[in-house]
Chains A and B, each alone.
Chain A
């Protein structure tokens, strides 16, 4: 089994660093982007199995980004990692296959739950 790659898109470096360290420990290959635009650039060079997306991003929002990327990479999975509590999946995103279980609100008390979800999505 080849190493899965994950793109973390968050404007907060502390979120990106902590999460990437965590996921690396679990054996994933991590790339980071500090905005949707930055992530788009990275996607042009590399392919990713999964993206952890913050919703509130400077410039293009997380939602817009997912919709855009989903069109280009329909096999790509998404985890929404947002600061908004009780975030409900917007209707357009439901078509991308994102469910409530793929949504995590910051701060996550037990990150292993998020890792478990990622594991599930990528197997």
Chain B
């Protein structure tokens, strides 16, 4: 369907072209010449027209000659008119060309009768005046004139020594115009040479004049058709005569003078008049309106020269203006035998080209062979110098090619290796056949990372690369094998070292961390992982202080250590997990390697050690105190007993209850009542009470102190610790010293007792004293110091590691570190003087650690919460 449409369009298009050609075919041009055939000017014009129009086959040219040189009467023109009228009537013309003035005048005169509406193109009209076609439609054409200025310039160019120029013209209409034109531009040149115009001489006079002229004279011949005697000369006739009568160079202005004795000049040409007119006709034939085509006022001219005259006057061709035409040049051999010469030249050229091509081909081939050989050598060199083993094998696993290295290693020459099966060389290569099959099948490269082989008693590790040959049509694969034994062993060594490093660092119970100079983690051992719950892979390259913020207060210390390569240590870094303080010792050892800056950090948990130290100190204090107390107690007790007995005696000595008192009073006439009254009034009784109280207090201190020196003669009793605690709580709630407003009932008591706790050996009253002491202290702390919104005491009992652990927690204010350290010291108290002996907790400590061989400690939170921890053994050595 589409094809048909296209075909149709093509047909339509070609059809249009054909029709447009057909319409042009009929374009008929009529040329009317003023003169006759054989007249040089007319023939030149006609030739120009024909040459142009003949390019278009569709234009036919009819030529008429008015022959007005020979016939010019009125009746002649009438007859011509009749003839043309006849012709016009029976044959169709599309355009008319009129050449030269007479034809132009004839066409203008008979425009309406003979050439109505036909476009008219004129040429050869000397010094055309637009006035002459005023009122005439559909007309255009070419002006004809001479260029004197350019010719003068040419003369001065070719004859620089020119002193005089004689311009020859006549008195015809054109001759007079010429004279005027010369006069117009003459003054431009008078400085260079004398310019003389000759226009009114007879031929004889002219010849005489020229003969008299000095040598540096040049003649410019414009026109000489008629002399002063009325003798007419043809266009070329007068110049021939003139040139024969003088040896001076003659230049012309029209080309019909060329070849008749002039050297040449910038010449107006009949031929070019014709071509220009014909070009205008073509435009009209193409549809342009004649009136729209401007009249060509610059008549076409060319530099033309006569070869013989140039020779005669010794003018070289290279002196001439460019784009010149030279006539009458004698024909060269080349000119005469143009075709022959060209045949020879072309044949020779072809032969030479063939020979050169052949030579080049041979050179190229040689070069190619040479470079191919070289490339081959180069390639062999590359392959054979390779430290790798390289073979190619076919689908039969047989070697097709191998490099030198293979021969070196196996001991076979490459010829011997040819067609050898790889398994025969090394049996282990059997294992790679599946890979080979795969490469053959898929064409994809394959790598065998490790292949262990045994060869001449040693084990080697090979890495193999298998790849299909892709640039030849050979069905082979190449195998490159590299001995990586050393690398492999090194790798194993590295692996071992890495394992060892990890093993060592992970075995360190402390946190072992390595950092770089930017405080980023490079090593993070197992202990660090466990404590922070951050795996090493997640810790690596992270900032140390992000992972362990408690170290960030010491950032400066870390920087210092690395910068100055000095060992640094943080002796006791305190941090908290809940109420439980943690103490760490941090050692920063800068890396000694100069390649890398950084440090190894060792963080040791010294909490237990610190606590133990505290306990040891405490025990030592207790023991030394115990010894002293034992000695002191007796010494103090006796005077105390004296004081107290005496004071008590003073009280009963005035009591009427005793007979002895009454008798004694009666003896002295005293009334016991009065004595008592007196004593009361004088506050003696009160003072006696004060003595007794003071004694009692002192006795208490001594009693407590004596506990430190007590040698246990008592036996342990079986104690249910939970019952004991509950009893003590009851005691605390009921017996509490309400004067002090420590309302124990306001405190919320939490109990967390583990089930099935064993009965433990112990001294009930002592343990009760301990618990009571702790509870009392807790309550005092809660009520005395600050406002605790929801006072709480939590008691938990559990069994841990064969020890009964009793924890008594109160949410009162925290105990500062300095106080906490001394809390078990005898006589250490924070209470006001008189409110506590400062022995309660130290006695408790002694009871637990010495009498029960247990442990007692206290923990404090940052702001709130105090926890006493007591650990009691479930078995006691009865020999204590």
Binding site for B on A (CB under 8 A): 12, 14-15, 17-19, 21-22, 24-27, 56, 83-86, 88, 105-112
On chain A, the residues within 8 Å of B639 by CB distance are 14
On chain A, the residues within 8 Å of B661 by CB distance are 25
Measured between alpha carbons, how far is A27 from B663 in the docked complex, in Å?
12
On chain B, the residues within 8 Å of A86 by CB distance are 706, 710, 714
Measured between alpha carbons, how far is A97 from B707 in the docked complex, in Å?
28
Q: Out of B638, B644, B658, B702, which one reaches A109, CB within 8 Å?
A: B644
Which residue on B lies nearest to A111, using beta carbons? B648
Which residue on B lies nearest to A23, using beta carbons? B649
Asked whether A15 lies within 8 Å of B649 as measured between CB atoms, the reply is no
Measured between alpha carbons, how far is A28 from B277 in the docked complex, in Å?
187
Q: Which of A15, A18, A105, A110 has most B Cβ within 10 Å?
A: A18
Asked whether A27 lies within 8 Å of B659 as measured between CB atoms, the reply is yes
B696 at the interface (CB under 8 A from A): yes
Chain A proximity mask over B637-674: 1 for CB below 8 Å, otherwise 0: 11111111110110011000011110000000000000
Measured between alpha carbons, how far is A86 from B710 in the docked complex, in Å?
8
On chain B, the residues within 8 Å of A105 by CB distance are 637
Q: Which of B640, B644, B645, B661 has most A Cβ within 10 Å?
A: B645
Known: A24-B660, A85-B633, A107-B699. A15 touches B638 (CB 8 A): yes
B590 at the interface (CB under 8 A from A): no
Q: How far is the CB of A49 from chain B (nearest CB, A)?
A: 18
Q: How far is the CB of A108 from chain B (nearest CB, A)?
A: 7
Asked whether B714 lies within 8 Å of A88 as measured between CB atoms, the reply is yes
On chain B, the residues within 8 Å of A17 by CB distance are 646
Measured between alpha carbons, how far is A25 from B659 in the docked complex, in Å?
8
Measured between alpha carbons, how far is A19 from B647 in the docked complex, in Å?
11
Asked whether B714 lies within 8 Å of A106 as measured between CB atoms, the reply is no
Q: How far is the CB of A79 from chain B (nearest CB, A)?
A: 14
B695 at the interface (CB under 8 A from A): yes
Q: How far is the CB of B642 from chain A (nearest CB, A)?
A: 3
Residue contacts A-B, CB under 8 angstroms, 23 given:
A12-B641, A14-B646, A15-B642, A17-B646, A21-B646, A21-B653, A22-B645, A25-B649, A25-B653, A25-B661, A27-B660, A83-B633, A83-B634, A83-B637, A83-B641, A84-B633, A85-B702, A86-B710, A88-B714, A106-B640, A108-B641, A108-B645, A112-B648
Q: A26-B658, A27-B660, A85-B710 are in contact. List 7 more A-B contacts (CB 8 A).
A: A12-B642, A14-B642, A18-B645, A85-B702, A86-B710, A108-B645, A111-B649
B703 at the interface (CB under 8 A from A): yes
B19 at the interface (CB under 8 A from A): no
Known: A25-B658, A25-B660. A111 touches B634 (CB 8 A): no
Measured between alpha carbons, how far is A108 from B714 in the docked complex, in Å?
22
Known: A24-B660, A26-B658, A88-B714. A111 touches B645 (CB 8 A): yes
Measured between alpha carbons, how far is A115 from B15 in the docked complex, in Å?
165
On chain A, the residues within 8 Å of B659 by CB distance are 27
Q: Out of B643, B648, B706, which one reaches A22, CB within 8 Å?
A: B648
B332 at the interface (CB under 8 A from A): no
On chain A, the residues within 8 Å of B699 by CB distance are 107, 109
Asked whether A85 lies within 8 Å of B706 as measured between CB atoms, the reply is yes
On chain A, the residues within 8 Å of B642 by CB distance are 12, 14-15, 18
B713 at the interface (CB under 8 A from A): yes
Q: Which of A24, A56, A86 has most B Cβ within 10 Å?
A: A86
Measured between alpha carbons, how far is A15 from B637 in the docked complex, in Å?
10
Q: How far is the CB of A23 from chain B (nearest CB, A)?
A: 10
Asked whether A19 lies within 8 Å of B633 as measured between CB atoms, the reply is no
On chain A, the residues within 8 Å of B703 by CB distance are 85
On chain B, the residues within 8 Å of A26 by CB distance are 658
Q: How far is the CB of B769 from chain A (nearest CB, A)?
A: 13
Known: A86-B710, A88-B714. A22 touches B649 (CB 8 A): yes
Asked whether B649 lies within 8 Å of A18 as measured between CB atoms, the reply is yes
Known: A14-B638, A85-B703. A21 touches B644 (CB 8 A): no
On chain A, the residues within 8 Å of B658 by CB distance are 25-27
Asked whether A109 lies within 8 Å of B660 as measured between CB atoms, the reply is no
On chain B, the residues within 8 Å of A88 by CB distance are 713-714
Q: Out of A19, A24, A84, A108, which one reaches B634, CB within 8 Å?
A: A84
On chain B, the residues within 8 Å of A111 by CB distance are 644-645, 648-649
Measured between alpha carbons, how far is A88 from B642 in the docked complex, in Å?
23
Q: Which of B641, B646, B658, B702 has most A Cβ within 10 Å?
A: B641
Asked whether A21 lies within 8 Å of B649 as measured between CB atoms, the reply is yes
Asked whether A107 lies within 8 Å of B652 as measured between CB atoms, the reply is no
Measured between alpha carbons, how far is A14 from B645 in the docked complex, in Å?
9
Q: Out of B645, B653, B713, B714, which one reaches A107, CB within 8 Å?
A: B645
On chain B, the residues within 8 Å of A56 by CB distance are 634
Measured between alpha carbons, how far is A110 from B645 in the docked complex, in Å?
8
Q: Out of A24, A83, A110, which one reaches B648, CB within 8 Å?
A: A110
Measured between alpha carbons, how far is A83 from B645 in the docked complex, in Å?
14
On chain B, the residues within 8 Å of A107 by CB distance are 637, 640-641, 643-645, 695, 699
Asked whether B649 lies within 8 Å of A106 as measured between CB atoms, the reply is no
Q: How far is the CB of B811 from chain A (nearest CB, A)?
A: 37
Measured between alpha carbons, how far is A19 from B652 in the docked complex, in Å?
12
Q: How far is the CB of B519 from chain A (nearest CB, A)?
A: 62
On chain A, the residues within 8 Å of B652 by CB distance are 22, 25
Asked whether B638 lies within 8 Å of A106 as measured between CB atoms, the reply is yes
Asked whether A108 lies within 8 Å of B644 as measured between CB atoms, the reply is yes
On chain A, the residues within 8 Å of B640 by CB distance are 106-107
Asked whether B645 lies within 8 Å of A15 as measured between CB atoms, the reply is yes
On chain B, the residues within 8 Å of A85 by CB distance are 633, 637, 702-703, 706-707, 710
Q: How far is the CB of B331 from chain A (nearest CB, A)?
A: 166
Which residue on A lies nearest to B703, using beta carbons? A85
Measured between alpha carbons, how far is A105 from B645 in the docked complex, in Å?
12
On chain A, the residues within 8 Å of B702 by CB distance are 85
Known: A14-B642, A83-B638. A109 touches B649 (CB 8 A): no
Which residue on A lies nearest to B664, using beta carbons? A25
On chain B, the residues within 8 Å of A25 by CB distance are 649, 652-653, 658, 660-661
Measured between alpha carbons, how far is A105 from B710 in the docked complex, in Å?
14
Q: Which of A18, A21, A85, A109 has most B Cβ within 10 Å?
A: A85
Q: How far is the CB of A92 from chain B (nearest CB, A)?
A: 14
Measured between alpha carbons, how far is A29 from B713 in the docked complex, in Å?
36
Which residue on B lies nearest to A88, using beta carbons? B713
Measured between alpha carbons, how far is A111 from B655 in the docked complex, in Å?
15
Q: How far is the CB of B129 from chain A (nearest CB, A)?
A: 168
On chain A, the residues within 8 Å of B653 by CB distance are 21, 25
Q: How far is the CB of B837 from chain A (nearest CB, A)?
A: 15
Q: How far is the CB of B765 from chain A (nearest CB, A)?
A: 10
Asked whether A19 lies within 8 Å of B645 as measured between CB atoms, the reply is yes
Which residue on A lies nearest to B648, using beta carbons? A111
On chain B, the residues within 8 Å of A112 by CB distance are 648
Q: How far is the CB of A29 from chain B (nearest CB, A)?
A: 12
Q: How far is the CB of A66 from chain B (nearest CB, A)?
A: 18
Q: How far is the CB of B638 from chain A (nearest CB, A)?
A: 5
Known: A27-B660, A83-B634, A86-B710. A109 touches B645 (CB 8 A): no
Q: Which of B637, B653, B702 has most A Cβ within 10 Å?
A: B637
Measured between alpha carbons, how far is A104 from B648 in the docked complex, in Å?
16
On chain B, the residues within 8 Å of A83 by CB distance are 633-634, 637-638, 641
Q: How far is the CB of A20 from chain B (nearest CB, A)?
A: 10
On chain B, the residues within 8 Å of A24 by CB distance are 660
Which residue on A lies nearest to B657, using beta carbons? A25
Which residue on B lies nearest to A54, using beta carbons? B638
Asked whether B633 lies within 8 Å of A18 as measured between CB atoms, the reply is no
Which residue on B lies nearest to A115, using beta carbons? B652
Asked whether B641 lies within 8 Å of A106 as measured between CB atoms, the reply is yes
On chain A, the residues within 8 Å of B713 by CB distance are 88
Which residue on A lies nearest to B658, using beta carbons? A25
Measured between alpha carbons, how far is A56 from B648 in the docked complex, in Å?
24
Chain A proximity mask over B694-711: 1 for CB below 8 Å, otherwise 0: 011001001100110010
Closest 10 CB pairs of A and B: A14-B642, A18-B645, A106-B641, A107-B641, A83-B637, A107-B640, A83-B634, A107-B644, A85-B706, A18-B646
Measured between alpha carbons, how far is A21 from B713 in the docked complex, in Å?
35
Measured between alpha carbons, how far is A83 from B702 in the docked complex, in Å?
10
